[in-house]
Chains A and B, each alone.
Chain A
Amino acid sequence: MAIGLENWTLARPEIFLAAVTCLLLVYGVVRGETSAAFVSVATTLALLVTTVLLFVPYHEGTAFASLFIVDRLTATMKVLVLIGAAVTILMSRAYFEQAGAWRFEYPVLVALATLGMMLMISANDLMSLYVGLELQSLALYVVAAFQRDSVRSTEAGLKYFVLGSVASGMLLFGASLVYGFCGGTAYVEISRALLDGRGGEFGVVVGLVFVVAGLAFKVSAVPFHMWTPDVYEGAPTPVTALFAVAPKIAAMSLLVSVLMGPFKPLFEQWQQIIIAASVLSMALGAFAALRQQNIKRLMAYSSIGNVGYILLGLASGSAKGIESVVFYLAIYLVMSLGVFAVILMMKRRGVMVESIADMAGLARNQPAMAFAMLLFMFSLAGIPPLAGFWGKLYIFIAAVEAKLYVPAVLGVLASVVASYYYLRIVKVMYFDEAAEAFDRPAFGVNRAVALASALVVALFSLAPQPLSVVASVAAKGLFQ
């Protein structure tokens, strides 16, 4: 039996990241607590180098006996994940320093989670899928509880761990059913078996449902979303920022490659599931967020709603649909990073605040910060000419082309409901009487991230074309 090492160079970025992370871990252990600053900077640099390695040189193909695949879609998704992870590591420093939890394990754990995400994205076999997913999840469970002297943080970590394990169990159970009925775990084997007529068998469909359920948990789609608000609220804010972007993108990419890859022959079966999850997520994200008082919790429901839109793109099952998913994810990444950069700057007399009422009158005290937040909120609500509008437009184009009229109508209606709570933030910042001013944010990463994101969101309409080209090139990776 061949070990399949011939194409190992395809995994150079992952191997590099793994090696550097291990070295940094050793370094941190030797140097102790003082090494946190160096390790975090080095990790960020390593993530950037990894991004470069994805493309220099760029090769496509499968490796390790077809466990691992590189194509244009995986490369694009990895870039998004790496950006999300690198930026959130940089954004974390001030927060953890103040909380007295600035330790070198944090960047190392994030890097390991990122490695897991990259493996998930490149998975070409249910086994490698599971290994990548678990590497990511285990690192993230720890990160969620990283502020270990805080009850909320540990609670969030524990909750995430317990529920996440259940989801992993479901996924594994589904995978074993699929293996049992298809006779293999490799995507190609499953696909072949399904095309040969195994698709009609009940066990396969049950397996598919379990796999989708497990993955729906990871992207926090309704009805597997329950962990999201608690974990978002409880986890340290920079970790919430990370959760909002990198794992979401990775899990969504995984969902896309599993459903559009091996399970493509069962399109009609999984389309119903995805449509249901999509509509429910859009609706729940819109309605449940209406009464939230905590901005992080609100962002949790907002992310559930956004996942609903992305799933609608996936439910179209067309090249346009996958394009819209990539397009939306890229814009969602920018908007989320921006919002969390602002949240991380919400500090009053040195204490982080996170209730919406605390933002009252922000427009008077911190006009620039309020204006950035205003842009993000209108963008999340999908109001043109801001970036978020284009994401929604792309999704709805894909949905209408796939004749998903009813979900599309429900989606736009949900977006109107959702716009209410985004507007509420604007109202609090701009219409309400000024509360006590926030501390003047120091020049730093968070300001830079907020500024850069705000610029992208505001000026995106000038040139939506490049991103749509990237998205369409990426989507072609799946349709060769």
Chain B
Amino acid sequence: MSWPILSLITFLPLVGAVFCLVVNGPKEAVDRNCRSVALVTSVVTFLISLLLWVRFDVTKAGFQFEEKVDWVPALGIGYHVGIDGISLFFILLSTLLTPICILASWESVHVRVKEYMVAFLVLETFMVGMFCALDLALFYVFFEGVLIPMFLIIGVWGGPRRVYAAFKFFLYTLLGSVLMLLAIIAIYWQLGTTDLVVAMEQLHLPFAWQCYLWLAFFASFAVKVPMWPVHTWLPDAHVEAPTAGSVILAGVLLKMGGYGFLRLSIPLLPEATQYFAPLIFGLSVVAVIYTSLVALVQEDMKKLIAYSSIAHMGLVTIGAFVLNVQGVQGSVFQMLSHGIVSAALFLCVGVVYDRMHTREIAAYGGLVHRMPRYAFTFLVFTLASVGLPGLSGFVGEFLVLLGTFKVNTWVAALAATGLILGAAYALWLYRKIVFGQLTKDSLKGIVDMNRREIVVFLPLLLLTLWMGVYPNSFLDPMAASVDKLVGDYQAAIKLARTAALSP
């Protein structure tokens, strides 16, 4: 690697943000320029990030594109970034969704456009940085830095109860993260460095300590995923956030939790992971079934999709903690698929919300008569969310259930019932909104998607198909890394067992 590609895609959005900040002049010109700057920056970032995929060596299990610079040597903190097969696609997901969000907000956001674009670009920097980070302190900085722009996005551009939602989001996530900070400090205290790669190789903690640290990490990631019973911030945040905020929230921020489990909890604390896996299964199964049932009775479209996100993320956490290759691959794949599908579903809500300014399911019906293109798009993503074979949702769910079945039949069976409920609420939602007779006067003049909206949906649509039809493009690059993750975990468990048996 001759040039620091990861740092480039991490900090390029910040450059765009600074540009936006210095733009000055009459309001219309500022708004127009900021939109363009933000779009260009994020598209360029996305294009550069594609290079990662092109130049990614699928045979390597370890980290690639590594960069390492001393940052705070006094505290053993370094600026260490790099990616493996697991983080690669999360970065691509973040860099893809950001321009889509900016494009989706082109017309719907018209107050304080400059600040809005700055917030999104800063958010992109933090998201990408977090997925690249190979230093615990750096990881924490990005992980928690996300809160600042997201707090503002929900609070400034959100709906009527935005203040409540923004505070709830911030305080919930912060409460989880600060405990993780202590866990990171404890690891630093053991090793004298916060470097993740060193920690993966050298960290050997007594079992009790592993448990404390695992719980501290769990507090942070479980809130972020979110797992039942700490999920209650998510429906509020989703409902009140502007469309693009929901898209990023569902598309990327939730994945930070799942990614955190895979990157930190499992490799650093294998014995505790094994010990607590039943807890994860229990909570996830409750999440899958309970939140699906809750989703069935929602009257607000966004809230329904929010609850469906919790259910889908329940599958993700099950897959991550069955710790066989299928399960983990399924978990990562499910996160990617959910990142695209739920993002697209929120965008679908945004399309009608921009026209009617309501998200009440009861306010709609029979849209297919006036909006055929919209009906088609919404249908594809609804079916992808349900898990129809041939679309992205199926692959992840199938792999997770396959992996789970090998480990625990009951968990697999219960998780599978969640899928049936998922089909029920998703199809119910679709029927209520799109099918039926168009009887409501207010809907008589509604117009179909315009060219900009099609451009927004097209890449997501193609990706959903691609992931469903030929998942190997995505599974192959992550295979080596997942094998290593699972292999290391098994080896650590075996080592611990022999150590316990030997006199």
Contacts and interface: CB of A to CB of B under 8 A. Distances in A.
B106 to A, nearest CB: 22
Contact of A416 (B72, B163, B178, B182): B178
A383 B171 CA distance: 12
Q: How large is the interface on B (under 10, 10 to 19, 20 to 34, 35 or more residues)?
A: 35 or more
Contact of A465 (B73, B141, B182, B185): B73
A341 B117 CA distance: 28
A347 interface: no
B181 interface: yes
A416 B170 CA distance: 9
B74 A383 contact: no
Contact of B171 (A385, A409, A419): A419
A401 B162 CA distance: 41
B233 interface: no
B375 interface: no
> Which 3 residue pairs are nearest across A and B when measured between Cβ atoms?
A412-B178, A384-B141, A468-B74
Given A397-B188, A416-B175, A431-B166, A409 B182 contact: yes
A391 to B, nearest CB: 12
A194 to B, nearest CB: 30
A397 B185 CA distance: 6
Interface string A107-148: 000000000000000000000000000000000000000000
A383 B147 CA distance: 8
A427 interface: yes
14 contacts: A363-B156, A367-B115, A384-B140, A384-B142, A384-B145, A389-B144, A396-B185, A413-B178, A416-B174, A423-B167, A423-B170, A427-B155, A430-B156, A465-B71
A394 B145 contact: no
B151 interface: yes
Contacts of B200: none
B71 A464 contact: yes
Nearest to A401: B189
B145 A385 contact: yes
A384 B138 CA distance: 10
A389 B179 CA distance: 14
B163 A431 contact: yes
Contacts of A416: 171, 174-175, 178
Interface residues of A, number: 34
Given A383-B148, A397-B75, A431-B155, A415 B178 contact: yes
Contacts of B142: 384-385
A469 B74 contact: yes
A204 to B, nearest CB: 33
A464 B71 CA distance: 8
Contact of A427 (B72, B75, B163, B185): B163
A393 interface: yes
Interface string B137-179: 1001110110110011001100000110011001100110011
B186 interface: yes
Contact of B141 (A363, A385, A397, A469): A385
Given A384-B140, A393-B137, A431-B166, A400 B186 contact: yes
Nearest to B175: A416
Interface string B180-217: 01100110110000000000000000000000000000
Given A409-B182, A419-B170, A420-B171, A430 B72 contact: no
The secondary-structure label for the interface of chain A is helix
A383 B144 contact: yes
Interface in B236-253: none
A290 to B, nearest CB: 12
A415 B179 CA distance: 11
Contacts of A413: 175, 178
A412 to B, nearest CB: 4
Given A397-B75, A420-B167, A430 B152 contact: yes
A208 interface: no
B83 to A, nearest CB: 21
B320 to A, nearest CB: 26
A21 interface: no
A468 B72 contact: yes
A470 to B, nearest CB: 10
A14 B454 CA distance: 73
Given A378-B148, A400-B189, A431-B156, 18 more contacts: A363-B115, A364-B112, A383-B144, A385-B141, A396-B181, A400-B186, A412-B179, A412-B181, A413-B175, A413-B178, A426-B151, A430-B156, A431-B162, A461-B141, A464-B71, A465-B71, A465-B72, A469-B74
Contacts of A412: 178-179, 181-182
B144 A384 contact: yes
Interface string A339-365: 000000000000000000000000110
A252 interface: no
A400 B194 CA distance: 14
Contacts of A75: none
Interface string B105-148: 00000001001000000000000000000000100111011011
Nearest to A367: B115
Given A409-B182, A465-B73, A389 B174 contact: no
A367 B185 CA distance: 37
A413 B166 CA distance: 19
A385 B141 CA distance: 6
Interface in A413-429: 413, 415-416, 419-420, 423, 426-427
Contacts of B174: 383, 416, 419
A468 B75 contact: yes
Contacts of A394: 75
A363 B156 CA distance: 10
A219 interface: no
Nearest to B216: A409
Contacts of B156: 363, 430-431
Interface in B431-470: none
Contacts of A228: none
B155 to A, nearest CB: 5
Nearest to A384: B141
B183 to A, nearest CB: 10
A162 to B, nearest CB: 39
A393 B140 CA distance: 11
Contacts of A384: 140-142, 144-145
A245 B182 CA distance: 28
